[in-house]
Structure 1
Protein backbone atom coordinates (compact mmCIF):
# COMPACT_ATOMS: atom_id res chain seq x y z
CA UNK A 1 0.00 0.00 0.00
CA UNK A 2 1.37 3.43 -0.94
CA UNK A 3 2.25 6.05 1.70
CA UNK A 4 -0.41 8.31 0.17
CA UNK A 5 -3.09 5.65 0.63
CA UNK A 6 -2.02 5.20 4.27
CA UNK A 7 -2.29 8.96 4.83
CA UNK A 8 -5.77 8.91 3.30
CA UNK A 9 -6.70 6.17 5.75
CA UNK A 10 -5.42 8.18 8.72
CA UNK A 11 -7.33 11.21 7.44
CA UNK A 12 -10.60 9.26 7.54
CA UNK A 13 -12.89 11.52 9.54
CA UNK A 14 -15.65 10.31 11.84
CA UNK A 15 -17.64 12.79 13.90
CA UNK A 16 -20.44 11.94 16.29
CA UNK A 17 -22.21 15.31 15.94
CA UNK A 18 -23.22 15.25 19.60
CA UNK A 19 -24.00 11.55 19.59
CA UNK A 20 -21.04 10.51 21.74
CA UNK A 21 -23.02 11.11 24.95
CA UNK A 22 -25.78 8.80 23.77
CA UNK A 23 -23.19 6.22 22.75
CA UNK A 24 -21.59 6.35 26.20
CA UNK A 25 -24.97 5.90 27.89
CA UNK A 26 -25.73 2.88 25.71
CA UNK A 27 -22.31 1.37 26.49
CA UNK A 28 -22.99 1.87 30.20
CA UNK A 29 -26.14 -0.22 29.82
CA UNK A 30 -24.17 -2.84 27.87
CA UNK A 31 -21.55 -3.04 30.63
CA UNK A 32 -24.31 -3.29 33.22
CA UNK A 33 -25.61 -6.30 31.26
CA UNK A 34 -22.14 -7.86 31.17
CA UNK A 35 -21.79 -7.45 34.93
CA UNK A 36 -25.09 -9.23 35.55
CA UNK A 37 -23.30 -12.48 34.73
CA UNK A 38 -20.37 -11.80 37.06
CA UNK A 39 -20.77 -13.42 40.45
CA UNK A 40 -18.41 -12.62 43.34
CA UNK A 41 -17.94 -16.38 43.72
CA UNK A 42 -16.40 -16.40 40.23
CA UNK A 43 -13.25 -14.80 41.60
CA UNK A 44 -12.77 -17.69 44.02
CA UNK A 45 -11.54 -19.68 41.01
CA UNK A 46 -8.39 -17.55 41.05
CA UNK A 47 -7.55 -19.24 44.35
CA UNK A 48 -8.83 -22.69 43.34
CA UNK A 49 -7.17 -22.73 39.91
CA UNK A 50 -4.35 -20.17 40.12
CA UNK A 51 -2.02 -21.53 37.42
CA UNK A 52 -4.51 -21.38 34.55
CA UNK A 53 -6.10 -18.14 35.73
CA UNK A 54 -2.78 -16.34 36.17
CA UNK A 55 -1.53 -17.66 32.81
CA UNK A 56 -4.60 -16.26 31.08
CA UNK A 57 -4.25 -12.92 32.85
CA UNK A 58 -0.55 -12.69 31.97
CA UNK A 59 -1.21 -13.54 28.31
CA UNK A 60 -3.86 -10.88 27.94
CA UNK A 61 -2.62 -8.06 30.15
CA UNK A 62 1.16 -8.38 29.71
CA UNK A 63 2.28 -10.56 26.80
CA UNK A 64 -0.26 -9.37 24.22
CA UNK A 65 0.47 -5.62 24.49
CA UNK A 66 4.22 -6.25 24.84
CA UNK A 67 4.45 -8.49 21.77
CA UNK A 68 2.12 -6.15 19.90
CA UNK A 69 4.81 -3.49 20.28
CA UNK A 70 7.41 -5.95 18.96
CA UNK A 71 5.17 -6.70 15.96
CA UNK A 72 4.73 -2.98 15.30
CA UNK A 73 8.50 -2.51 15.34
CA UNK A 74 8.84 -5.32 12.81
CA UNK A 75 6.23 -3.66 10.57
CA UNK A 76 8.31 -0.45 10.62
CA UNK A 77 7.41 2.02 7.85
CA UNK A 78 4.80 -0.37 6.49
CA UNK A 79 2.25 1.03 8.95
CA UNK A 80 1.48 4.57 10.08
CA UNK A 81 1.74 5.80 13.69
CA UNK A 82 -2.06 5.89 13.99
CA UNK A 83 -2.43 2.30 12.80
CA UNK A 84 0.25 1.27 15.29
CA UNK A 85 -1.55 3.06 18.13
CA UNK A 86 -4.79 1.38 17.06
CA UNK A 87 -3.11 -2.01 17.45
CA UNK A 88 -1.88 -1.02 20.92
CA UNK A 89 -5.35 0.18 21.91
CA UNK A 90 -6.93 -3.12 20.86
CA UNK A 91 -4.27 -5.06 22.77
CA UNK A 92 -5.00 -2.93 25.85
CA UNK A 93 -8.72 -3.74 25.87
CA UNK A 94 -10.12 -6.61 27.97
CA UNK A 95 -11.43 -9.82 26.45
CA UNK A 96 -14.75 -9.79 24.65
CA UNK A 97 -17.84 -11.49 26.05
CA UNK A 98 -18.26 -13.60 22.93
CA UNK A 99 -15.17 -15.51 24.12
CA UNK A 100 -17.39 -17.39 26.60
CA UNK A 101 -19.64 -18.57 23.77
CA UNK A 102 -16.71 -19.53 21.52
CA UNK A 103 -15.01 -21.38 24.39
CA UNK A 104 -18.17 -23.42 24.89
CA UNK A 105 -18.32 -24.21 21.16
CA UNK A 106 -14.69 -25.34 21.15
CA UNK A 107 -15.23 -27.58 24.20
CA UNK A 108 -12.86 -25.56 26.32
CA UNK A 109 -13.06 -24.81 30.02
CA UNK A 110 -16.16 -22.59 30.28
CA UNK A 111 -15.66 -21.89 33.98
CA UNK A 112 -12.13 -20.66 33.32
CA UNK A 113 -13.39 -18.51 30.44
CA UNK A 114 -16.03 -16.85 32.62
CA UNK A 115 -13.48 -16.23 35.39
CA UNK A 116 -10.95 -14.67 32.99
CA UNK A 117 -13.58 -12.48 31.32
CA UNK A 118 -14.89 -11.36 34.71
CA UNK A 119 -11.44 -10.51 36.07
CA UNK A 120 -10.18 -8.75 32.94
CA UNK A 121 -13.41 -6.78 32.53
CA UNK A 122 -13.29 -5.61 36.15
CA UNK A 123 -9.56 -4.84 35.92
CA UNK A 124 -9.81 -2.94 32.62
CA UNK A 125 -10.82 0.20 34.51
CA UNK A 126 -7.11 0.39 35.37
CA UNK A 127 -5.35 -1.90 32.88
CA UNK A 128 -6.72 -0.41 29.64
CA UNK A 129 -5.58 3.20 30.25
CA UNK A 130 -2.31 2.11 31.88
CA UNK A 131 -1.39 -0.35 29.11
CA UNK A 132 -2.33 2.08 26.34
CA UNK A 133 -0.36 4.89 27.98
CA UNK A 134 2.71 2.76 28.74
CA UNK A 135 3.02 0.88 25.44
CA UNK A 136 1.79 3.86 23.43
CA UNK A 137 4.55 6.05 24.85
CA UNK A 138 7.08 3.27 24.24
CA UNK A 139 6.02 3.20 20.58
CA UNK A 140 6.06 6.99 20.20
CA UNK A 141 9.60 7.08 21.60
CA UNK A 142 10.65 4.30 19.22
CA UNK A 143 8.97 5.94 16.22
CA UNK A 144 10.43 9.34 17.08
CA UNK A 145 13.95 7.93 17.30
CA UNK A 146 13.53 6.04 14.03
CA UNK A 147 11.63 8.87 12.27
CA UNK A 148 8.86 6.47 11.30
CA UNK A 149 5.99 8.09 9.43
CA UNK A 150 4.59 11.55 10.00
CA UNK A 151 4.64 11.64 13.78
CA UNK A 152 2.52 14.46 15.19
CA UNK A 153 2.94 15.83 18.70
CA UNK A 154 0.78 13.29 20.51
CA UNK A 155 0.07 13.17 24.22
CA UNK A 156 -1.44 9.92 25.51
CA UNK A 157 -4.55 11.06 27.45
CA UNK A 158 -4.16 8.70 30.43
CA UNK A 159 -6.30 10.73 32.83
CA UNK A 160 -9.14 11.23 30.34
CA UNK A 161 -9.18 7.55 29.39
CA UNK A 162 -9.25 6.47 33.03
CA UNK A 163 -12.05 8.90 33.87
CA UNK A 164 -14.19 7.85 30.90
CA UNK A 165 -13.68 4.13 31.51
CA UNK A 166 -14.55 4.50 35.19
CA UNK A 167 -17.77 6.37 34.39
CA UNK A 168 -18.99 4.28 31.44
CA UNK A 169 -17.70 0.93 32.68
CA UNK A 170 -16.69 1.00 36.34
CA UNK A 171 -19.93 2.31 37.83
CA UNK A 172 -22.22 0.09 35.66
CA UNK A 173 -19.96 -2.87 36.44
CA UNK A 174 -20.34 -2.41 40.19
CA UNK A 175 -24.11 -1.86 39.90
CA UNK A 176 -24.47 -4.91 37.65
CA UNK A 177 -22.60 -7.20 40.05
CA UNK A 178 -24.74 -5.95 42.95
CA UNK A 179 -27.93 -6.43 40.92
CA UNK A 180 -26.91 -9.96 39.94
CA UNK A 181 -26.18 -10.77 43.56
CA UNK A 182 -29.25 -9.29 45.25
CA UNK A 183 -31.94 -9.00 42.53
CA UNK A 184 -31.97 -12.38 40.71
CA UNK A 185 -35.42 -11.86 39.13
CA UNK A 186 -34.44 -8.49 37.67
CA UNK A 187 -31.17 -10.03 36.46
CA UNK A 188 -32.97 -12.85 34.68
CA UNK A 189 -35.32 -10.36 32.99
CA UNK A 190 -32.58 -7.98 31.79
CA UNK A 191 -29.69 -10.30 30.92
CA UNK A 192 -30.74 -11.50 27.44
CA UNK A 193 -32.00 -8.12 26.10
CA UNK A 194 -28.80 -6.40 27.21
CA UNK A 195 -26.68 -9.10 25.54
CA UNK A 196 -28.54 -8.43 22.28
CA UNK A 197 -28.03 -4.69 22.81
CA UNK A 198 -24.25 -5.16 22.90
CA UNK A 199 -24.30 -6.71 19.42
CA UNK A 200 -26.52 -3.92 18.07
CA UNK A 201 -24.23 -1.25 19.55
CA UNK A 202 -21.11 -2.72 17.95
CA UNK A 203 -22.76 -3.03 14.53
CA UNK A 204 -23.99 0.57 14.82
CA UNK A 205 -20.49 1.83 15.65
CA UNK A 206 -18.98 0.01 12.66
CA UNK A 207 -21.63 1.54 10.38
CA UNK A 208 -20.93 5.00 11.83
CA UNK A 209 -17.22 4.61 11.13
CA UNK A 210 -17.54 3.39 7.55
CA UNK A 211 -20.50 5.55 6.51
CA UNK A 212 -19.22 8.22 4.16
CA UNK A 213 -15.73 6.66 4.14
CA UNK A 214 -16.54 3.43 2.35
CA UNK A 215 -14.36 4.17 -0.71
CA UNK A 216 -11.32 4.88 1.47
CA UNK A 217 -11.88 1.67 3.41
CA UNK A 218 -12.32 -0.49 0.30
CA UNK A 219 -9.05 0.79 -1.15
CA UNK A 220 -7.31 -0.25 2.07
CA UNK A 221 -9.21 -3.48 2.82
CA UNK A 222 -6.40 -5.86 1.80
CA UNK A 223 -3.90 -3.86 3.82
CA UNK A 224 -6.13 -3.66 6.91
CA UNK A 225 -7.13 -7.31 6.60
CA UNK A 226 -3.49 -8.44 6.55
CA UNK A 227 -2.49 -6.33 9.57
CA UNK A 228 -5.43 -7.50 11.67
CA UNK A 229 -4.98 -11.10 10.52
CA UNK A 230 -1.32 -11.13 11.63
CA UNK A 231 -2.08 -9.32 14.89
CA UNK A 232 -4.95 -11.65 15.76
CA UNK A 233 -2.85 -14.68 14.84
CA UNK A 234 -0.16 -13.38 17.21
CA UNK A 235 -2.74 -13.06 20.01
CA UNK A 236 -4.05 -16.59 19.49
CA UNK A 237 -0.48 -17.89 19.28
CA UNK A 238 0.49 -16.19 22.55
CA UNK A 239 -2.37 -17.90 24.37
CA UNK A 240 -1.81 -21.36 22.93
CA UNK A 241 2.01 -21.34 23.10
CA UNK A 242 2.21 -20.02 26.66
CA UNK A 243 -0.39 -22.45 28.02
CA UNK A 244 1.25 -25.34 26.15
CA UNK A 245 4.73 -24.52 27.48
CA UNK A 246 3.27 -24.45 31.00
CA UNK A 247 1.62 -27.84 30.34
CA UNK A 248 -1.89 -26.75 31.24
CA UNK A 249 -4.82 -29.13 30.61
CA UNK A 250 -5.85 -29.12 26.97
CA UNK A 251 -9.25 -27.58 27.71
CA UNK A 252 -7.50 -24.73 29.50
CA UNK A 253 -5.16 -24.22 26.54
CA UNK A 254 -8.15 -23.79 24.25
CA UNK A 255 -9.76 -21.35 26.65
CA UNK A 256 -6.66 -19.20 27.13
CA UNK A 257 -6.06 -19.17 23.37
CA UNK A 258 -9.57 -17.86 22.76
CA UNK A 259 -9.50 -15.40 25.67
CA UNK A 260 -6.26 -13.87 24.38
CA UNK A 261 -7.47 -13.73 20.77
CA UNK A 262 -10.88 -12.18 21.47
CA UNK A 263 -10.65 -8.51 22.46
CA UNK A 264 -13.38 -6.07 23.47
CA UNK A 265 -12.72 -3.80 20.52
CA UNK A 266 -16.13 -2.21 21.10
CA UNK A 267 -14.61 -0.48 24.13
CA UNK A 268 -11.78 0.75 21.94
CA UNK A 269 -14.27 2.26 19.49
CA UNK A 270 -16.18 3.96 22.30
CA UNK A 271 -12.96 5.56 23.52
CA UNK A 272 -11.94 6.64 20.01
CA UNK A 273 -15.34 8.17 19.31
CA UNK A 274 -15.26 10.16 22.56
CA UNK A 275 -14.05 13.70 21.71
CA UNK A 276 -13.13 14.31 25.36
CA UNK A 277 -10.42 11.65 25.03
CA UNK A 278 -9.40 11.92 21.39
CA UNK A 279 -10.32 15.48 20.26
CA UNK A 280 -11.63 15.98 16.74
CA UNK A 281 -9.13 18.81 16.26
CA UNK A 282 -5.38 18.92 16.71
CA UNK A 283 -2.92 16.02 16.67
CA UNK A 284 -5.56 13.34 17.34
CA UNK A 285 -7.91 14.54 14.58
CA UNK A 286 -6.44 12.22 11.93
CA UNK A 287 -6.95 8.97 13.84
CA UNK A 288 -8.72 7.12 11.03
CA UNK A 289 -6.09 4.38 11.10
CA UNK A 290 -6.90 3.67 14.75
CA UNK A 291 -10.63 3.56 14.04
CA UNK A 292 -10.41 1.21 11.06
CA UNK A 293 -8.01 -1.21 12.78
CA UNK A 294 -10.18 -1.34 15.90
CA UNK A 295 -13.43 -1.75 13.97
CA UNK A 296 -12.10 -4.50 11.69
CA UNK A 297 -10.60 -6.32 14.69
CA UNK A 298 -14.11 -6.54 16.12
CA UNK A 299 -15.32 -8.24 12.96
CA UNK A 300 -12.33 -10.49 12.31
CA UNK A 301 -11.85 -11.93 15.80
CA UNK A 302 -15.38 -13.36 15.65
CA UNK A 303 -14.58 -15.05 12.33
CA UNK A 304 -11.23 -16.41 13.52
CA UNK A 305 -12.65 -17.51 16.88
CA UNK A 306 -15.58 -19.37 15.34
CA UNK A 307 -13.26 -20.98 12.77
CA UNK A 308 -10.93 -22.17 15.52
CA UNK A 309 -13.86 -23.53 17.54
CA UNK A 310 -15.14 -25.38 14.46
CA UNK A 311 -11.71 -26.95 13.84
CA UNK A 312 -11.37 -28.04 17.46
CA UNK A 313 -14.84 -29.57 17.48
CA UNK A 314 -14.05 -31.49 14.30
CA UNK A 315 -10.90 -32.91 15.80
CA UNK A 316 -13.06 -34.41 18.54
CA UNK A 317 -10.22 -35.32 20.85
CA UNK A 318 -11.08 -37.21 23.99
CA UNK A 319 -10.10 -35.31 27.09
CA UNK A 320 -8.00 -38.16 28.39
CA UNK A 321 -5.89 -38.13 25.27
CA UNK A 322 -5.60 -34.36 25.14
CA UNK A 323 -4.00 -33.66 28.48
Structure 2
Protein backbone atom coordinates (compact mmCIF):
# COMPACT_ATOMS: atom_id res chain seq x y z
CA UNK A 1 0.00 0.00 0.00
CA UNK A 2 2.81 2.42 0.88
CA UNK A 3 4.54 1.79 -2.45
CA UNK A 4 1.38 2.60 -4.39
CA UNK A 5 0.92 5.78 -2.35
CA UNK A 6 4.55 6.79 -2.92
CA UNK A 7 4.04 6.39 -6.67
CA UNK A 8 0.84 8.48 -6.52
CA UNK A 9 2.62 11.24 -4.56
CA UNK A 10 5.55 11.28 -7.01
CA UNK A 11 3.18 11.53 -9.99
CA UNK A 12 1.21 14.35 -8.33
CA UNK A 13 4.48 16.12 -7.40
CA UNK A 14 5.64 15.98 -11.02
CA UNK A 15 2.21 17.26 -12.07
CA UNK A 16 2.73 20.20 -9.71
CA UNK A 17 6.15 20.70 -11.29
CA UNK A 18 4.53 20.76 -14.73
CA UNK A 19 1.91 23.32 -13.64
CA UNK A 20 4.75 25.32 -12.08
CA UNK A 21 6.44 25.35 -15.49
CA UNK A 22 3.49 26.68 -17.48
CA UNK A 23 2.37 28.91 -14.60
CA UNK A 24 5.79 30.51 -14.22
CA UNK A 25 7.07 30.30 -17.81
CA UNK A 26 6.19 33.97 -18.13
CA UNK A 27 8.65 34.86 -15.37
CA UNK A 28 11.61 34.14 -17.63
CA UNK A 29 10.35 35.23 -21.01
CA UNK A 30 7.52 37.78 -20.76
CA UNK A 31 9.84 40.77 -20.95
CA UNK A 32 11.79 39.34 -23.91
CA UNK A 33 8.62 38.55 -25.82
CA UNK A 34 6.95 41.88 -25.05
CA UNK A 35 9.99 43.82 -26.32
CA UNK A 36 10.22 41.51 -29.37
CA UNK A 37 13.75 40.47 -28.46
CA UNK A 38 12.56 36.87 -28.95
CA UNK A 39 9.59 35.27 -30.64
CA UNK A 40 7.24 33.47 -28.23
CA UNK A 41 8.17 30.01 -29.50
CA UNK A 42 11.93 30.69 -29.45
CA UNK A 43 11.60 32.17 -25.96
CA UNK A 44 9.71 29.11 -24.69
CA UNK A 45 12.29 26.73 -26.16
CA UNK A 46 15.15 28.68 -24.60
CA UNK A 47 13.38 28.94 -21.23
CA UNK A 48 12.62 25.19 -21.23
CA UNK A 49 16.27 24.35 -21.93
CA UNK A 50 17.69 26.65 -19.24
CA UNK A 51 15.08 25.52 -16.73
CA UNK A 52 16.40 22.00 -17.27
CA UNK A 53 20.02 23.13 -16.81
CA UNK A 54 19.24 25.25 -13.76
CA UNK A 55 17.39 22.41 -12.08
CA UNK A 56 20.53 20.28 -12.16
CA UNK A 57 22.87 22.88 -10.65
CA UNK A 58 22.14 22.48 -6.94
CA UNK A 59 20.09 20.88 -4.18
CA UNK A 60 20.15 23.45 -1.37
CA UNK A 61 16.61 24.74 -1.93
CA UNK A 62 15.31 21.15 -2.26
CA UNK A 63 16.85 20.27 1.11
CA UNK A 64 15.16 23.28 2.71
CA UNK A 65 11.74 22.14 1.42
CA UNK A 66 12.33 18.54 2.49
CA UNK A 67 13.71 19.20 5.96
CA UNK A 68 12.79 22.68 7.23
CA UNK A 69 9.03 23.18 6.67
CA UNK A 70 7.34 20.24 8.41
CA UNK A 71 8.63 17.26 10.42
CA UNK A 72 7.33 14.36 8.35
CA UNK A 73 9.08 11.84 10.61
CA UNK A 74 6.57 12.73 13.35
CA UNK A 75 3.93 10.73 11.48
CA UNK A 76 3.64 7.03 10.56
CA UNK A 77 4.65 6.20 6.98
CA UNK A 78 1.15 5.99 5.54
CA UNK A 79 -0.05 9.18 7.22
CA UNK A 80 3.12 11.00 6.17
CA UNK A 81 2.47 10.19 2.52
CA UNK A 82 -1.13 11.39 2.78
CA UNK A 83 0.15 14.62 4.35
CA UNK A 84 2.52 15.26 1.43
CA UNK A 85 -0.21 14.40 -1.09
CA UNK A 86 -2.66 16.86 0.48
CA UNK A 87 -0.02 19.60 0.54
CA UNK A 88 0.53 19.08 -3.19
CA UNK A 89 -3.19 19.16 -3.98
CA UNK A 90 -3.49 22.49 -2.14
CA UNK A 91 -0.60 23.97 -4.11
CA UNK A 92 -1.81 22.69 -7.49
CA UNK A 93 -5.34 23.98 -6.85
CA UNK A 94 -4.10 27.51 -6.11
CA UNK A 95 -1.74 27.42 -9.11
CA UNK A 96 -4.61 26.55 -11.45
CA UNK A 97 -6.91 29.22 -9.98
CA UNK A 98 -4.35 32.01 -10.37
CA UNK A 99 -3.27 30.75 -13.82
CA UNK A 100 -6.89 30.88 -14.98
CA UNK A 101 -7.23 34.43 -13.65
CA UNK A 102 -3.92 35.42 -15.26
CA UNK A 103 -2.35 36.43 -11.95
CA UNK A 104 1.40 35.82 -11.49
CA UNK A 105 1.22 34.31 -8.01
CA UNK A 106 3.99 32.26 -6.44
CA UNK A 107 4.23 28.49 -6.94
CA UNK A 108 6.91 28.57 -4.26
CA UNK A 109 4.57 29.97 -1.64
CA UNK A 110 1.76 27.71 -2.86
CA UNK A 111 3.71 24.55 -2.04
CA UNK A 112 4.99 25.99 1.24
CA UNK A 113 1.45 27.06 2.15
CA UNK A 114 0.11 23.63 1.23
CA UNK A 115 2.66 21.82 3.39
CA UNK A 116 2.17 24.23 6.29
CA UNK A 117 -1.63 23.94 6.17
CA UNK A 118 -1.65 20.16 6.13
CA UNK A 119 1.02 20.13 8.84
CA UNK A 120 -1.27 22.15 11.11
CA UNK A 121 -4.33 20.05 10.21
CA UNK A 122 -2.53 16.77 10.89
CA UNK A 123 -0.93 17.93 14.13
CA UNK A 124 2.69 17.28 13.13
CA UNK A 125 5.52 19.70 13.90
CA UNK A 126 5.71 22.82 11.71
CA UNK A 127 9.10 24.58 11.80
CA UNK A 128 7.81 28.12 12.25
CA UNK A 129 11.22 29.69 12.89
CA UNK A 130 12.60 28.25 9.64
CA UNK A 131 9.49 29.39 7.77
CA UNK A 132 9.98 32.93 9.08
CA UNK A 133 13.72 32.97 8.31
CA UNK A 134 13.67 31.25 4.92
CA UNK A 135 10.20 32.02 3.58
CA UNK A 136 8.58 35.07 5.17
CA UNK A 137 11.65 37.34 5.33
CA UNK A 138 12.82 36.50 1.79
CA UNK A 139 9.20 36.99 0.64
CA UNK A 140 9.38 40.55 1.97
CA UNK A 141 12.94 41.48 1.04
CA UNK A 142 13.37 39.82 -2.36
CA UNK A 143 10.69 41.97 -4.06
CA UNK A 144 12.06 45.09 -2.35
CA UNK A 145 15.57 44.30 -3.54
CA UNK A 146 14.18 43.50 -6.99
CA UNK A 147 12.32 46.82 -7.17
CA UNK A 148 15.03 49.14 -5.85
CA UNK A 149 17.88 47.17 -7.45
CA UNK A 150 16.21 47.39 -10.86
CA UNK A 151 15.33 51.05 -10.33
CA UNK A 152 18.91 52.03 -9.45
CA UNK A 153 20.43 49.86 -12.19
CA UNK A 154 18.11 51.43 -14.76
CA UNK A 155 18.93 54.95 -13.58
CA UNK A 156 22.65 54.14 -13.91
CA UNK A 157 22.12 52.67 -17.37
CA UNK A 158 20.17 55.72 -18.55
CA UNK A 159 23.00 57.98 -17.38
CA UNK A 160 25.72 55.84 -19.02
CA UNK A 161 23.91 55.78 -22.38
CA UNK A 162 22.47 59.29 -22.18
CA UNK A 163 24.32 60.44 -25.34
CA UNK A 164 24.03 57.18 -27.29
CA UNK A 165 21.92 56.77 -30.40
CA UNK A 166 18.55 55.45 -29.12
CA UNK A 167 17.88 53.22 -32.13
CA UNK A 168 21.26 51.50 -32.02
CA UNK A 169 21.18 51.20 -28.22
CA UNK A 170 17.75 49.56 -28.19
CA UNK A 171 18.83 47.15 -30.91
CA UNK A 172 21.86 46.10 -28.85
CA UNK A 173 19.78 45.67 -25.71
CA UNK A 174 17.32 43.55 -27.66
CA UNK A 175 20.22 41.19 -28.40
CA UNK A 176 21.44 41.39 -24.79
CA UNK A 177 17.98 40.39 -23.61
CA UNK A 178 18.54 36.92 -25.00
CA UNK A 179 21.31 36.45 -22.42
CA UNK A 180 19.33 38.02 -19.56
CA UNK A 181 16.25 35.91 -20.33
CA UNK A 182 18.45 32.79 -20.32
CA UNK A 183 19.90 33.83 -16.95
CA UNK A 184 16.39 34.33 -15.59
CA UNK A 185 15.26 30.91 -16.87
CA UNK A 186 18.33 29.31 -15.29
CA UNK A 187 17.43 30.92 -11.96
CA UNK A 188 13.85 29.71 -12.30
CA UNK A 189 15.01 26.12 -12.78
CA UNK A 190 17.49 26.49 -9.93
CA UNK A 191 14.72 27.64 -7.60
CA UNK A 192 11.43 26.10 -8.67
CA UNK A 193 12.40 22.64 -9.92
CA UNK A 194 14.28 22.07 -6.67
CA UNK A 195 11.08 22.58 -4.70
CA UNK A 196 9.53 19.58 -6.41
CA UNK A 197 12.69 17.59 -5.74
CA UNK A 198 12.30 18.45 -2.07
CA UNK A 199 8.66 17.30 -2.00
CA UNK A 200 9.50 13.99 -3.70
CA UNK A 201 12.35 13.47 -1.24
CA UNK A 202 9.90 14.19 1.58
CA UNK A 203 7.59 11.45 0.23
CA UNK A 204 10.41 8.93 -0.21
CA UNK A 205 11.59 9.51 3.37
CA UNK A 206 8.02 9.30 4.71
CA UNK A 207 7.45 6.01 2.92
CA UNK A 208 10.73 4.55 4.10
CA UNK A 209 12.22 4.35 0.61
CA UNK A 210 15.10 6.75 1.22
CA UNK A 211 17.29 7.68 4.16
CA UNK A 212 16.76 11.06 5.78
CA UNK A 213 20.25 12.29 4.86
CA UNK A 214 19.41 15.15 2.50
CA UNK A 215 20.87 13.38 -0.53
CA UNK A 216 18.61 13.54 -3.58
CA UNK A 217 18.60 10.57 -6.00
CA UNK A 218 19.57 11.36 -9.58
CA UNK A 219 16.24 10.09 -10.97
CA UNK A 220 14.43 12.62 -8.78
CA UNK A 221 16.58 15.46 -10.12
CA UNK A 222 16.17 14.55 -13.78
CA UNK A 223 12.43 13.85 -13.54
CA UNK A 224 11.74 17.16 -11.77
CA UNK A 225 13.94 19.03 -14.25
CA UNK A 226 12.19 17.42 -17.20
CA UNK A 227 8.68 18.06 -15.84
CA UNK A 228 9.27 21.78 -15.28
CA UNK A 229 10.88 22.09 -18.72
CA UNK A 230 7.91 20.44 -20.43
CA UNK A 231 5.55 22.68 -18.48
CA UNK A 232 7.56 25.74 -19.48
CA UNK A 233 7.40 24.77 -23.14
CA UNK A 234 3.63 24.38 -22.84
CA UNK A 235 3.66 28.10 -22.10
CA UNK A 236 1.82 30.50 -19.84
CA UNK A 237 0.25 32.98 -22.21
CA UNK A 238 -2.29 34.45 -19.80
CA UNK A 239 0.34 35.40 -17.22
CA UNK A 240 2.81 36.43 -19.92
CA UNK A 241 0.39 39.14 -21.05
CA UNK A 242 0.07 40.45 -17.47
CA UNK A 243 3.82 40.67 -16.87
CA UNK A 244 4.82 41.79 -20.34
CA UNK A 245 2.15 44.35 -21.13
CA UNK A 246 -0.33 45.12 -18.39
CA UNK A 247 2.10 46.32 -15.68
CA UNK A 248 4.07 48.58 -18.03
CA UNK A 249 5.04 48.77 -21.70
CA UNK A 250 8.67 47.60 -21.62
CA UNK A 251 11.54 48.52 -23.92
CA UNK A 252 14.60 46.25 -24.45
CA UNK A 253 16.85 48.14 -22.02
CA UNK A 254 14.31 47.95 -19.21
CA UNK A 255 13.61 44.32 -19.98
CA UNK A 256 17.32 43.53 -19.82
CA UNK A 257 17.74 45.25 -16.45
CA UNK A 258 14.63 43.64 -14.93
CA UNK A 259 15.74 40.14 -15.95
CA UNK A 260 19.36 40.62 -14.91
CA UNK A 261 18.54 41.97 -11.44
CA UNK A 262 15.94 39.23 -10.90
CA UNK A 263 18.41 36.51 -11.89
CA UNK A 264 21.00 37.83 -9.41
CA UNK A 265 18.44 37.81 -6.58
CA UNK A 266 17.48 34.21 -7.41
CA UNK A 267 21.11 33.03 -7.52
CA UNK A 268 21.96 34.71 -4.21
CA UNK A 269 19.00 33.11 -2.45
CA UNK A 270 19.68 29.65 -3.91
CA UNK A 271 23.45 29.45 -3.44
CA UNK A 272 24.03 31.66 -0.37
CA UNK A 273 20.86 31.72 1.73
CA UNK A 274 19.36 28.38 0.55
CA UNK A 275 16.00 30.17 0.63
CA UNK A 276 13.11 29.13 -1.66
CA UNK A 277 12.12 32.56 -2.96
CA UNK A 278 9.46 33.37 -5.51
CA UNK A 279 10.66 33.97 -9.07
CA UNK A 280 7.26 35.56 -9.72
CA UNK A 281 7.58 38.15 -6.96
CA UNK A 282 11.14 38.97 -7.93
CA UNK A 283 10.62 39.58 -11.66
CA UNK A 284 7.32 41.43 -11.13
CA UNK A 285 8.86 43.85 -8.64
CA UNK A 286 11.87 44.36 -10.92
CA UNK A 287 9.54 45.23 -13.82
CA UNK A 288 7.84 47.79 -11.57
CA UNK A 289 11.27 49.16 -10.60
CA UNK A 290 12.43 49.77 -14.17
CA UNK A 291 9.01 51.16 -15.03
CA UNK A 292 9.19 53.70 -12.23
CA UNK A 293 12.27 55.27 -13.86
CA UNK A 294 10.00 56.65 -16.59
CA UNK A 295 7.59 58.15 -14.07
CA UNK A 296 5.58 56.66 -11.24
CA UNK A 297 2.38 56.92 -13.25
CA UNK A 298 3.91 54.76 -16.01
CA UNK A 299 3.40 51.72 -13.79
CA UNK A 300 -0.19 50.50 -13.80
CA UNK A 301 -0.51 50.35 -10.05
CA UNK A 302 -4.04 48.96 -10.20
CA UNK A 303 -2.72 45.80 -11.87
CA UNK A 304 0.17 45.75 -9.39
CA UNK A 305 -2.35 45.94 -6.53
CA UNK A 306 -4.23 42.89 -7.86
CA UNK A 307 -0.95 40.97 -8.13
CA UNK A 308 0.03 41.95 -4.58
CA UNK A 309 -3.35 40.70 -3.38
CA UNK A 310 -2.64 37.30 -4.95
CA UNK A 311 0.79 37.28 -3.26
CA UNK A 312 -0.72 37.89 0.18
CA UNK A 313 -3.42 35.26 -0.33
CA UNK A 314 -1.22 32.49 -1.74
CA UNK A 315 0.16 30.92 1.46
CA UNK A 316 -3.09 31.01 3.49
CA UNK A 317 -5.25 29.98 0.49
CA UNK A 318 -3.05 26.99 -0.40
CA UNK A 319 -2.87 26.11 3.31
CA UNK A 320 -6.67 26.14 3.66
CA UNK A 321 -7.17 23.98 0.56
CA UNK A 322 -4.53 21.48 1.74
CA UNK A 323 -6.04 21.33 5.23
CA UNK A 324 -9.55 20.81 3.82
CA UNK A 325 -8.32 18.02 1.54
CA UNK A 326 -6.60 16.37 4.50
CA UNK A 327 -9.78 16.42 6.58
CA UNK A 328 -11.61 14.74 3.68
CA UNK A 329 -8.95 12.16 2.82
CA UNK A 330 -7.58 11.35 6.28
CA UNK A 331 -10.61 9.29 7.44
CA UNK A 332 -10.45 7.31 4.19
CA UNK A 333 -6.73 6.86 3.67
CA UNK A 334 -5.05 7.07 7.08
TM range (shorter): 0.3 to 0.5
So what's the TM-score if we normalise by structure 1? 0.36
Provide TM-score, normalisation by structure 2: 0.35
